[in-house]
A = this chain, B = another copy of it.
């Protein structure tokens, strides 16, 4: 799957080499019980062995080795990990292809049309919304972009880079570093997910303000659809008709395969400023974040952490926090950070001792709270997997809403979640803002609860349903950056304008007349 020397796990997040060992898992379980006393005593069941997995016979001619079919069976949401942990691969594809040329992709389209198969495009396979899990009746051909991961062109003057759709975060960063450039796009799946996947799912990136979604970074893109190549022109901006890039952004593999894109890169930042401000109550931290989001200062990090989130990430023992970061390749950041801190203090924030505050001049130490936070952030999904054998369910959900609606949304979502967790002995709820906009935040919730062993999927379904109903009722979107996939389909259908379903269906019919592309995503399978 990967040019990486590491081995992709068949069940847990990421690479086998990076999975916590038994001692580390034990320590993690202890930490979890300390954080969530309701979990009680934890006992691990043995880890699954891939050799024990039973795969059905391929329904169409296939030379794909079983392990490849297993690895492409799903994404990396809690449900996917749980099913893989149980060695349930009923949904594994029949064939996995690794096309190198456009002709190979066209051949995959033809194969699917001929065989009545579904085609599931596969980038990093990190979907947490069942975006790569086809569970319907058709045979499945999975098309993995892993052989298309090069940076094709670098225009340093315009800071534009043309990159193949299958390039992962580390792939493209390594190639861009040779030119002194960086994409600075760090979704939590950074190590595994791909540019094509980010575009297909409208992933959310590194910057907490300003241009945050991959949508804003795309100058042009190329998608291969069963009806032919969909290639947009590389332009800094245009006002010519409805933006064709925006049809592909968020198309989730249902219209075609994103084979490349020209994206806006940055010169590597050399000035950094970071600080953490503490608050005795969440509403004050929220006010601070709002003031900063509306100030025009555009911090790269502006992350509110509620008490549990601050505790989990070891930022604070008992307070809420606001993690602020600025970065620039061009100028010192002292006035930016000073002003942001003034706004935070005015909202009721308490500044830490000066040592923990980097003002943003070049000479000071460059790695700050924001960077430390990022490393832990990228490690997070391993912990979710590592708790599965202990029967602990940890998962996240996210949304965005206006500032005016946040307070009631937060209340209603917590109420729904706590009621649901209460059925399983209670658990932990933590919230942070992943991104902030002048008109509202993107709240990101994490919960942990004792899993109902053997019935985890039903338990998860109940929680997911209650929380999603609550957040949509309270005025949030069903997803700020996790995409729709199959998991969010029901709420997505309520969120989009009614006539837009007809438009999407018509667009799909125009680009994918045989309806082979990722069926069930965006539109119900007909």
Measured CB to CB, the residues of A under 8 A from B are: 155, 157-160, 201-204, 210, 212-213, 215, 219, 225, 227-244, 246-252, 264, 267, 290, 294-298, 328-331, 334-335, 339, 343, 400-405, 435, 437-442, 475-484, 488, 492, 495-500, 502-507, 509-511, 522
Contact = CB atoms under 8 A, between A and B. Distances in A.
Contacts of A298: 296, 298
A402 B244 contact: no
Query: What are the 7 tightest A-B residue pairs by CB atom distance, in nearest-first order?
Result: A506-B506, A236-B440, A236-B437, A246-B246, A238-B477, A158-B402, A202-B239
Contacts of A296: 298, 328-331
Given A229-B498, A236-B400, 11 more contacts: A155-B404, A210-B210, A212-B237, A231-B497, A237-B480, A239-B483, A240-B484, A241-B522, A244-B497, A296-B328, A506-B509
B242 A246 contact: yes
A482 B158 contact: no
A499 B232 CA distance: 11
B330 A297 contact: yes
A370 to B, nearest CB: 16
Contact of A503 (B155, B247, B264, B343): B247
Contact of A339 (B249, B330, B504): B330
Contact of A249 (B243, B328, B497): B243
B504 A241 contact: yes
B439 A158 contact: yes
Given A242-B249, A242-B251, A401-B236, A264 B439 contact: yes
A403 B160 CA distance: 10
Given A295-B331, A442-B236, A507-B506, A241 B484 contact: yes
Contacts of A483: 239-240
Contact of A159 (B155, B294, B335, B441): B294
B236 A439 contact: yes
B158 A235 contact: no
27 contacts: A155-B404, A157-B403, A157-B404, A158-B402, A158-B403, A203-B239, A229-B499, A232-B497, A235-B400, A235-B476, A237-B477, A237-B480, A239-B480, A239-B481, A240-B477, A240-B483, A241-B250, A241-B251, A241-B522, A242-B249, A242-B251, A243-B250, A244-B496, A244-B497, A264-B438, A295-B328, A297-B331
Contacts of A250: 239-243
Contacts of A437: 236-237
A239 B404 CA distance: 20
Contacts of A233: 475, 477, 495
Contacts of A330: 294-297, 339, 343
